[in-house]
Structure 1
Amino acid sequence: MNRFHVHLNVADLDASIRFYSELFAAQPTVLKPDYAKWMLEDPRVNFAISTAGRSPGIDHLGIQVENGDALAAIGQRLDAAGVTVVPEEATICCYARSDKLWTEDPQGTRWETFHTVGEATTYYAGDAPCATDGAACSPDVSSMKPRTE
């Protein structure tokens, strides 16, 4: 089953962790000095916050899928929507190793569709093949080259 994903940039990580832990009645499942993530079942969401990125607010939305076939299926739907789709394969971001597809909706909201394949020890891999600017894990899709498949 797919899981909705929300990633917020926050100014005060500790205060935000306190707030969201109370709101969700749960402690983060991943907690790092610059990042926290809740993998919630009700609602079924991957909710992440970080201080490593842009101004406070919504960084991006997304859908976390369970396997590569589900990622490919969403990629086909994005292609059918006529938007630019930018792949990131075997990338490290948000303390995880993932295959991803990035796009933007008509308003410019970044969307990340991804399949997580393992954990990582760093927030992002600055020298790994990554579609990001190195400061945050969500790229400026409009400045990137679309996939050619």
Structure 2
Amino acid sequence: MNRFHVHLNVSNLDDSIRFYSQLFARAPAVVKGDYAKWMLEDPRVNFAISTTGRAPGIDHLGIQVDSGDELVALGRRLDAAGSTVVPEPDATCCYARSDKMWTEDPQGTRWETFHTFGDAVTYYAADDACSTDAACRPAPAAVQSRCAPASGCC
């Protein structure tokens, strides 16, 4: 089952953890010095916050899938929607390892689709081939795709 993903930039992690823990009636599943994540079932959402030095507010939205095959299918749908789709295979981001695809909607809102397959000890791996900044969100227009989503490579 897919899970909706929301990532917010926050100015004060501790205050935000207190607020969202009360709102969601539970502590985060992951807490690091610059990041926290709740994996909620009602509503089914992967809700993450971080202090990455960006302006507070919505960083990106996304859909987390349970398998690589589901990611390929979702990539085909994104490709059919007509925006540039940027694959980011084997990415280290947000203390996890994932295969990802990035795109933007017509308003410029960034969308991350991803399949997580492992944990990582760092927030971000600076040597990821497709990443362009520490917020783990390459700009689709700025990154050249190494493969087409429909090819099943990601």
Both structures adopt the same fold (TM-score exceeding 0.5): yes
* CA deviation map 1:126-147 (0-9, x unaligned): 12324232x2111222222245
1:57-97 Cα distance to aligned partner (Å, 9 max, x none): 00000000000000000000011111100000011000000
2:86 touches 2:144 (CA, 8 Å); kept in 1? yes
Aligned to 2:42: 42
Query: Corresponding residue for 2:18?
Result: 18
Distance in 2 separating the partners of 1:35 and 1:132: 19
The equivalent of 1:142 in structure 2 is 141
Aligned counterparts of 2:52 and 2:37: Cα–Cα separation in 1: 14
The two structures have a TM-score, normalised by structure 1, of 0.95
How big is the alpha-carbon RMSD for the aligned residues of Structure 1 and Structure 2? 1.1
Q: Distance in 1 between matches of 2:86 and 2:122?
A: 22
CA deviation map 1:21-47 (0-9, x unaligned):
000001000000000000000000000
TM-score by length of 2: 0.92
Whether the 8 Å contact between 1:85 and 1:147 is mirrored in structure 2 is no
Q: Give the Cα–Cα distance (whole angstroms) in 2 for the partners of residues 87 and 48 of structure 1.
A: 21
Q: Distance in 2 between matches of 1:122 and 1:110?
A: 22
- Stretches of structure 2 lacking an aligned partner (at least 5 in a row): 149-154
Matched, 1:111 2:105: no
Q: How far apart in 1 are the matches of 2:110 and 2:21?
A: 25
Runs of 5+ in structure 1 lacking a partner? none
